[in-house]
């Protein structure tokens, strides 16, 4: 089993396209792109926080599971990566946040650009 945990805020924030004017809409567009993406991952976990949560309901939609962070997104990303790893999955986290990347080991960490190139 392979799991891709996506830092939604970090991926959306990596493209200066006016996302800050409509965080919910930006999250919805990312979710839609993840739904049709041809990736090698069995499951994609999209973690949303703050105003972005209004753009996508929490829950399973095909191979994409959306999680609404109850507090900060980083803590939820770490938790999702930990759970998947403990369940025996190979975990990859998409983020450019260096502090977060240092705290999701042994998960592989890839950049938002890597993901966006595949969407």
- Does residue 17 carry a pLDDT above 90? no
Chain segment 106-116, per-residue pLDDT in tens = 999 999 999 99
**Residues paired with residue 43 on neighbouring β-strands, in sequence order:** 3
- Does residue 38 carry a pLDDT above 90? no
* C-alpha to C-alpha distance for 43 and 5, rounded to whole angstroms: 9
pLDDT given at position 20: 81
At residue 27, φ and ψ (nearest 5 deg) are -65, -40
Cα 31 → chain centroid:
9
pLDDT given at position 41: 96
Q: Residue 76 — very low, low, confident or very high, per pLDDT cuts 50/70/90?
A: very high
Q: What's the pTM?
A: 0.95
- Bond before 54 cis per omega within 30 degrees: no
CB count within 10 Å of CB 91 equals 25
38: left (phi over 0), alpha (psi -120 to 50) or beta: beta
* C-alpha to C-alpha distance for 54 and 104, rounded to whole angstroms: 26
Structure-token match 């805020």, residue found: 9
- Does residue 83 carry a pLDDT above 90? yes
pLDDT given at position 102: 93
- Structural domains of the chain, with CATH: 2-118 (3.40.50.1010)
């Amino acid at each position: 089993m392979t799991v891709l945990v996506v830092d939604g805020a970090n991926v959306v924030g990596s493209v200066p396209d006016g996302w800050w004017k409509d965080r919910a809409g930006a999250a919805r567009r990312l979710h839609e792109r993840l739904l049709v993406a041809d990736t090698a991952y069995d499951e994609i976990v999209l973690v949303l926080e703050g105003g972005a949560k209004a753009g996508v309901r929490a829950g399973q939609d095909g191979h994409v599971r959306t999680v609404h962070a109850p507090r900060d997104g980083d803590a939820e990303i770490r938790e999702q990566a930990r759970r998947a790893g403990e369940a025996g999955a190979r975990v990859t986290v998409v983020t450019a946040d260096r502090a977060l990347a240092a705290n999701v080991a042994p998960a592989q960490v890839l950049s938002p650009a890597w993901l966006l190139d595949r969407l």
